[in-house]
Amino acid sequence: MITFRKTILLVFIIVFLIGMRAGAQAKEITVVASFYPAYITELNVVKDVPGIRVVNLTTGAQGCLHDYALTTNDMRTLSKADIFVVNGAGTEGFLEEVAKQYPKLRIVRLTDTVPLIENNPHVWLSISGVVVGAKNLGRAMQELDPDRAELYQKNTDDYVLKLEKLGLKLYSQLSPHKGAKIITLHDAFVYFAHEFGLEVVAVIEREPGAQPSAQDLAQIIEVVRKCGVKAIFSDQWVLIPALQTVTLETGVPNYVLDLAVSGPDDPEAYIKIMQKNAQTIIEALQ
């Protein structure tokens, strides 16, 4: 026979077990991304998983991270991170310093296993590159938080599907322009161009801010004229001197593409940016 005391004890045990479970579920994980594109991938992979704090380390950075140096504030953020999600391929010049300072910090490189084109780090501008990145992060989250592995797997699969649909859509939209010759201000769009069969015949500035010599400029202008280049793609409306010279000398207009290194806090942001970039390219090449 169950006595009153036994019932009370049983109720206590049940309440205790429920509390334990709730405690386990509320486990807080801080996921820090080195920059915006990694942050957007994170938002998708951890979508609707409770207790995950997602941080973009370099919200104040302009453009890519080429010359970015970590601040003391950044180091403080990293000291609280459970996992640090980076592009890799040399994008984060500060990675060694971080690994040394926080030897226990898990670091996930989104570009792991992506074949690089001439060591170019701008892999996030390749849709298939971002697919690999999402899978790399999905796996890392499952290892870090195995209790919720299914959720991460589902989120990763959902995002990969969306990206693959986007890739197919852009592939068919851009297919009439296959083989089109373009020139770019920086070498950021190499992967995008490669993915959709566009040929980058010249890059005005090898590194952002590296002014081409008069001889380089003359060569670029010649290439533009010879190859029938229809458009110059840059990441800015401001015509820096070299860009101005090329557009003036050749009459080929400048179109602005989005580097996808800043934008809204929206998991769909990357997809929207890439769609817009494809539209700009289509408009320019018509």
Q: By CB under 5 A, name the binding residues for Zn ion.
A: 64, 188
Query: Residue 90 or residue 285: which is nearer to Zn ion going by CB?
Result: 90
257 burial level (CB within 10 Å; 0-12, 13-18, 19+): buried
Query: Residue 163 or residue 188: which is nearer to Zn ion going by CB?
Result: 188
- Residues with Cβ < 8 Å from 238, sequence gap 6 or more? none
Residue 63 CB, nearest approach to Zn ion (Å)? 6
55 burial level (CB within 10 Å; 0-12, 13-18, 19+): middle
Residue 173 CB, nearest approach to Zn ion (Å)? 25
DSSP 8-state secondary structure symbol assigned to residue 209: T
Residue 192 CB, nearest approach to Zn ion (Å)? 13
Query: Residue 64 or residue 70: which is nearer to Zn ion going by CB?
Result: 64
Query: Residue 82 or residue 92: which is nearer to Zn ion going by CB?
Result: 92
Residue 57 CB, nearest approach to Zn ion (Å)? 17
Residue 254 CB, nearest approach to Zn ion (Å)? 18
End-to-end Cα separation, the chain, in angstroms: 86
Spell out a b/e string for 103-117, using b for 16 or more CB atoms within 10 Å of the CB, else e. Answer: eeeebbbbbeebebe
Query: Residue 85 or residue 188: which is nearer to Zn ion going by CB?
Result: 188
Query: Residue 65 or residue 70: which is nearer to Zn ion going by CB?
Result: 65
Spatial distance between the Cα atoms of 96 and 77, rounded to a whole number of angstroms: 16
Which residue is at the shortest CB distance from Zn ion?
Answer: 64
Residue 41 and residue 140 in contact, taking contact as beta carbons nearer than 8 Å:
no
DSSP code string of 5-17: HHHHHHHHHHHHH
Spatial distance between the Cα atoms of 134 and 156, rounded to a whole number of angstroms: 6
Residue 119 CB, nearest approach to Zn ion (Å)? 13
Residue 163 CB, nearest approach to Zn ion (Å)? 21
Residue 66 CB, nearest approach to Zn ion (Å)? 6
* Largest separation between any pair of C-alpha atoms in the chain: 98
Spatial distance between the Cα atoms of 107 and 271, rounded to a whole number of angstroms: 25
Helix 241-250 and helix 214-227, axial crossing angle in degrees, nearest 10: 40
Residue 217 and residue 245 in contact, taking contact as beta carbons nearer than 8 Å:
yes
Query: Residue 188 or residue 193: which is nearer to Zn ion going by CB?
Result: 188
Query: Residue 144 or residue 240: which is nearer to Zn ion going by CB?
Result: 240
